[in-house]
Chains A and B, each alone.
Chain A
């Protein structure tokens, strides 16, 4: 009997040892993020696209949201807390936004136009009691067009822009609306608001611990019934180390991880984990200097470089986790247009172009590129750049690197190609968020946005391009605007204004229990349709 009891105890201990970490409750999704910390919870999130993905469009809404329902078509704007918007026919700086009726904040207060004014003041008006430098840091630069704003009535908002700017709806998609009533309730204190925030989004943040976890529950009164979460709970866990993230998934501590390391993907697939990926508005390029003396001022060299990158080889290096670039935006983008220059791998054509420019494998043209060892959205910068160095070297472009740390890289990107800080580099490998017309095109090549006014890093200056940008900004009808943006993109590609390499595909690995996720072609994702078996 004693032996039997001992055996049973031993079996029980063994079972306890082998039990996976906290067997999932029905309908709880635990996500391992790549972030090291929980993003700002007060409204405007920090920590880039991932911060907005998990703490922005979950807990909050913007006036104008992104359509996150389809994996097949490029994601575009849809009504959020505003149901419709239009620019005044006679005064193109005046916009009227009709606001959604019946939308509620998590604290129960009702969403009305004064709440939007209050939120814009939170970012732009440092005299207002709710002005929050932290959120202003994130939001202020996203709405450069906004000059003034007022509530016409409870459900009508008027926004005036500094000059006609048809991109205002895109700008407002960045601005997330926090609850003024809740801020009053917590004693007008953003630190307290951060502890238990209140937005109008489909998820309600109920608790969080810095660097450890955040827990969200569905907001059953969410205005968009198609986006009321099906899950019981969503838990976010920051796991910045890629190998640890994979281990956390495989040991059952999380059900989903962001960005598994490419070399872990085959073994994850083999172990039965689902890998999802999709193109999204991200590009991985070399942004070229057009300052005096830069070799990239010769279009033949720019085109030769674009023809000399073996993108299929690179794809193999990344385990297929990339979309080879055919231009600045994804081939399926509404702004792609019909460029005549076909970006492909053609080393012979590249050599011919270089020969025409007076260079070749025996007499290479030398370029110097700023690269980082890691960084937000940079994918695998070291092996990728070394691969490109090799393929460009084969046609006669000798590549030298200046490797810098990521924070330094951000500063060098702001400083521009003419700055002494870049130490003579004539290209920078800085990956881009290219989700709206400003972030995709204008900020890189508008001649008015060279340092220190903006991030036209290469000092590109082409009146024809500036005119196209102005035209796009003044084209208010969406279909017409898309046509102008297609012309912009055609010029980007035909003039080979960047070295286009690839687009990231945002790989995610998840347990087979996770169902119903549709990976939209967007930096943000919809977690409402997901269930966990």
Chain B
């Protein structure tokens, strides 16, 4: 198990390298460069050229990449071209905000999705199943940024019950687990949870339906086990599949949603990426995406480990 863990963690090195290189190339392929984004539009060419030198964008791309990589391995992701602040600090603070939002969305979405899916799978073909399936289809089909805007119009604008933007009256710096702050979480978390609800629900439903049709369930019932105990066995058999999907979904959630974080001005990684893209803030883009990619790899390892713990038949040698 330990060697498996080490091997998995080592795999993340080439992945991180590949991601960094890919992102580096993509941001340089996009039209406009960081200097055109920060210099006033009518800055004369000598000023723009001077800036290019000041920021090191006059060097050939492989050298720029090498320099960046050299610093990144020491944990220095450079400074934002736009704000001048250290990228690492900005990314970590944004990651913290996104984790908060996505964990809330995950708890809500996964619980609801799993419960609905279980009920639907257990009561296959019945009214409950149809209702739950309708919710799942709606969850997957409705554009979530649109839903976010509708929720804002209803709960913020019309009812004036919940705030429309931000992370609390004083921003993310003074976050506290009190109502004044937590009410800022409700609308974005619900909006963000809509897709996972649909996906988890569908996965759970089909897994439950499949397990229920297996012979061992009939055998358990034939043995005279109570329905509660039978369901316990079903849950244990369904868990690995559902957990794998939840793990992936959690990964997506933790990646931050550009659309939802922008709609709610939530200062997470999605909002950070959005701002960085528009301002061609290459160090910020690279740093954020690298951190997110590593996060995703790490999360997959964790999910694998949990799966093994839940279902010992899955061997990780």
Contacts and interface: CB of A to CB of B under 8 A. Distances in A.
Contact of A411 (B36, B40, B82): B36
Identify which of A32, A240, A439 gathers the most chain B CB atoms within 10 Å of its CB: A240
Interface in B44-68: 44-45, 47, 50-51, 54-55
Given A16-B179, A209-B173, A241 B263 contact: yes
Interface in A389-408: 404-405, 407-408
A164 to B, nearest CB: 20
B167 interface: yes
A190 interface: yes
A44 to B, nearest CB: 10
Given A191-B84, A408-B32, A413-B41, A209 B267 contact: yes
A21 B155 CA distance: 12
B265 A247 contact: no
A453 B38 CA distance: 19
A110 interface: no
B197 to A, nearest CB: 23
Interface string A125-146: 0000000011011101110100
B160 A20 contact: yes
Contacts of B275: 36-37, 211, 240
Given A21-B163, A212-B171, A250 B38 contact: no
Nearest to A37: B275
Contacts of B79: 191
B43 A247 contact: no
Contacts of B45: 414, 452-453
B156 A251 contact: yes
B183 to A, nearest CB: 8
A36 B42 contact: no
Nearest to B94: A211
Nearest to A36: B275
B58 to A, nearest CB: 13
Contacts of A36: 271, 274-275, 278-279
Contacts of A140: 43, 47, 50
Given A18-B161, A238-B265, A212 B167 contact: yes
A140 B43 CA distance: 8
Interface residues of B, number: 59
Contact of A439 (B42, B85, B162, B167): B42
A407 B160 contact: no
B24 interface: no
B172 A212 contact: yes
A332 B170 CA distance: 42
Contacts of A18: 159-161
- Interchain residue pairs A-B with the least CB separation, the first 6: A407-B32, A133-B54, A251-B156, A247-B164, A212-B171, A22-B169
Interface string A1-27: 000000000000000111011100000
B265 A410 contact: no
A252 B264 CA distance: 15
A42 B83 CA distance: 10
A209 B171 contact: yes
Contacts of A454: 42, 44
A241 B259 CA distance: 10
Given A241-B263, A251-B160, A141 B44 contact: yes
B257 interface: no
B17 interface: no
Contacts of B196: none
Contacts of B156: 247, 250-251
B263 A410 contact: no
A37 B149 CA distance: 21
Interface range for A = 35 or more
Interface string B179-196: 110010000000000000
A195 B310 CA distance: 48
B42 A37 contact: no
Given A36-B278, A212-B267, A137 B262 contact: no
Nearest to A140: B47
B247 to A, nearest CB: 29
Given A21-B169, A36-B275, A211-B275, A248 B164 contact: yes
B83 A210 contact: yes
A239 interface: yes
A414 B44 CA distance: 9
Given A211-B275, A247-B165, A137 B32 contact: no
Given A22-B180, A210-B83, 18 more contacts: A22-B169, A37-B82, A46-B82, A137-B47, A141-B39, A141-B40, A141-B42, A141-B47, A210-B90, A212-B172, A212-B265, A212-B267, A239-B265, A243-B263, A247-B157, A251-B160, A405-B31, A407-B278
B87 to A, nearest CB: 11
Given A137-B43, A211-B271, A253 B280 contact: no
A144 B45 CA distance: 12
Identify which of B84, B262, B264 gathers the most chain A CB atoms within 10 Å of its CB: B84
A439 B37 CA distance: 19
A45 to B, nearest CB: 11
B39 A137 contact: yes
B109 interface: no
13 contacts: A18-B161, A32-B165, A48-B40, A137-B47, A141-B40, A212-B172, A240-B262, A247-B153, A248-B265, A251-B160, A253-B163, A414-B36, A453-B44
B54 A244 contact: no
A214 to B, nearest CB: 10
A137 B165 contact: no
Interface in A340-391: none
Contact of B84 (A21, A190, A212): A190
A373 to B, nearest CB: 13
A410 B43 contact: no
A46 B38 contact: yes
B83 A407 contact: no
B166 interface: yes
Contact of B280 (A20, A32, A252, A407): A407
Contacts of B35: 137
